[in-house]
A and B are shown apart, each in its own frame.
Chain A
Amino acid sequence: MSATTIAPDTRIPLRGHLRHTGALVRRNLLWIRQDPESMFDALLFPIVFTLLFVYVFGGSIGQSLGGGQQQYVQYVVPGLMAMMGMNMAQGVGTGFNQDFNSGVMDRFRSLPIGRGSVLFAKIAVELLRMLFATAVLMIVGVLVGFDIENWAGLVASVGLSAVFGSALMWVFLTLGVVMKNAQSVQAMGFLVLMPLQFGSSIFAPTESMPGWLQAFTDYNPLSSLADTARGLMVGGPVAHDLWVTLGWSVALTAVMAPVAIHKFRTKS
């Protein structure tokens, strides 16, 4: 190695990071404008799932809740909000993987920008899609009779979904970088999400589940997220589940964000 010392590499100022992330957000938004079909899932998912769950399971689960279908609407809509966020979060990995295989990533990575910018921009746009899906969900929810008892709670729930959703996006971004093609990213995401979503209190109360499953659902962050949203919007205890959800969000981000950025930086 050379005997002379080499000046350390320059650092990118915060303003630079913001500028780069902004430019990349614009790119991702232009993608949506170019390809509006990419919003179909955000539009149709909440509609289809709300109608399915309310009208297929609503009657019977509602009865066990001590009411009817209306009781179930109050139960499931906040749960669906939690679920919707996670489905949107999963999409981030697939899209990112496609990006990688198109060669445009090489250009980005040969530019003097922070490696995180590309990932932050992706997350920002995915959060916007998540907000859109949540808005659709609330409209459909109200149409099938959901009663928003606490508007501030609604806003807080949306915020909490976004926090947990973006934490989970780091996991899917990592999958998107590491896995070879978009199909495997999707399959993997499905495998991770399915048990989390159905083994939770999103769709039905967990009291009637076997003990071993309850042990799982109790620690499942999606249960906490759904229960918090429920508590915030229609009333009920909140504090414990809120802290559990926030704890998961912080832990996931702290572990997975550096991993995702590192994998992105060193992908060859």
Chain B
Amino acid sequence: MTRIDNDPKAANSAVTVRGLVKHYGETKALDGVDLDVREGTVMGVLGPNGAGKTTLVRILSTLLAPDAGRATVAGYDVVRQPRQLRRVIGLTGQYASVDEKLPGWENLYLIGRLLDLSRKEARARADELLERFSLTEAARRPAGTYSGGMRRRLDLAASMIGRPAVLYLDEPTTGLDPRTRNEVWDEVKRMVGDGVTVLLTTQYMEEAEQLASELTVVDRGKVIANGGIEELKAKVGGRTLRVRPADPLQLRPLAAFLDELGITGLASSTVDAERGAVLVPILSDEQLTAVVGAVTARGITLASITTELPSLDEVFLSLTGHRAGAPQDAEPADDRQEVAV
């Protein structure tokens, strides 16, 4: 097994994972995962349901013991130093883990006390975080009456009480509408601005692109790709430019024109006749600018022009050759109840 202590990659990483394994009977939720999250960065862990993301987070927050391998967070071993480790992490799960019967303020005060703040400090911290997450007005209402977005914000606030060095965001926007999702993203970006190291799990490429600087793609308990987000985007084909001419008859001439442009590295376009658009895979902002410039110079009237990120499915298709989360779901939907102890 790799020795973390002599591992150059582990030198300034806040989270170090080596050969982590977790089995649930026959299914391998984690099958030898390696991971490094550098201090002060956001690592996105991208994968479909059942890829092992939640199992990874649960092991890193000491809620679950690994079957093999090692993991340290801020230098503390997940198995041997759980109490010290718990002091430096913050956790927000995909199951909103606030107490719905307690008012927002009481939720935060409780966590403050459990983190050994004095009564006075706990009160002040609860007030401060409610203010920061725009929940002051709802402070006295039971969290069960909150909207989805408010609940996630309270959840984020709760995970920030102990000023954690490492924050786990386990699918922070799953099940939220787009507006609320943006709200949560903004909050996360602010937290990252404060220098917290974040491990983010997500099913959405878009979310990873918004928040993460580095990305690890997991599937069926294995890491199938990792690296800088730009690097991976290039690997999976980056964005797709969708150009819709105002006149549908221009569709094919436009596609032919783009293919003859000769922009460096530009892949050939495809025609989406159904929606009346030409699709061009682009790898850089320069290519994007060149294409838009050429089309404008040609004088083709456009109805719309948009760029799209590849979906999780497309990312998987280009990385693995199979679709995301296909035959076996390694991770039970609710693995908290799965394991009899």
- A interface vs B, CB < 8 Å? 1-4, 6-12, 16, 19-20, 22-24, 26-27, 30-31, 34-35, 100-104, 106-113, 178, 180, 263, 266-268
Contacts and interface: CB of A to CB of B under 8 A. Distances in A.
A22 B114 CA distance: 9
A114 to B, nearest CB: 9
A103 B3 contact: no
B337 A180 contact: yes
Given A23-B110, A111-B115, A112-B116, 11 more contacts: A10-B83, A10-B84, A19-B116, A106-B336, A107-B97, A108-B114, A110-B63, A110-B86, A112-B84, A113-B114, A267-B336
A16 B86 CA distance: 15
Interface in B305-341: 335-341
Contacts of A19: 113, 116
B89 interface: yes
A111 B63 contact: no
Nearest first, the 7 closest Cβ-Cβ pairs linking A and B are A23-B113, A103-B95, A112-B86, A103-B97, A107-B97, A110-B61, A268-B339
B5 A3 contact: yes
Interface of B: 1, 3-5, 58, 61-65, 70, 77, 80-84, 86-87, 89, 91, 93, 95-103, 106, 110-111, 113-116, 142, 158, 335-341
Contact of A2 (B4, B82, B142): B4
A122 to B, nearest CB: 14
Of A3, A23, A107, most buried by chain B (CB within 10 Å of CB) is A107
Contacts of B87: 112
A169 B338 CA distance: 25
A111 B114 contact: yes
Of A3, A16, A22, A267, most buried by chain B (CB within 10 Å of CB) is A267
B77 A106 contact: no
B91 A30 contact: no
Given A9-B82, A268-B58, A268-B63, A30 B102 contact: yes
A6 B81 contact: yes
A118 B316 CA distance: 42
Contacts of A27: 99, 102, 106, 110
Given A27-B102, A268-B336, A106 B113 contact: no
A201 to B, nearest CB: 38
Contact of B1 (A1, A107, A108): A1
A264 to B, nearest CB: 10
Given A2-B3, A3-B5, A34-B102, A107 B86 contact: no
A9 B110 contact: no
Given A9-B81, A19-B116, A106-B91, A2 B5 contact: yes
Nearest to B335: A268
Nearest to B115: A111
A106 B98 CA distance: 10
A110 B62 contact: yes
Contacts of A31: 101-102
Contacts of B103: 30
B91 A107 contact: yes
Contact of B158 (A107, A180, A268): A107
Contacts of A267: 336, 341
Contacts of B111: 107, 111
A266 to B, nearest CB: 5
A100 B97 CA distance: 11
A109 B115 contact: no
A2 B335 contact: no
A103 B64 contact: no
Contacts of A111: 86, 111, 114-115
Contacts of B63: 106, 109-110, 268
Contact of A20 (B81, B106, B114): B114
A31 B144 CA distance: 12
A266 B341 contact: yes
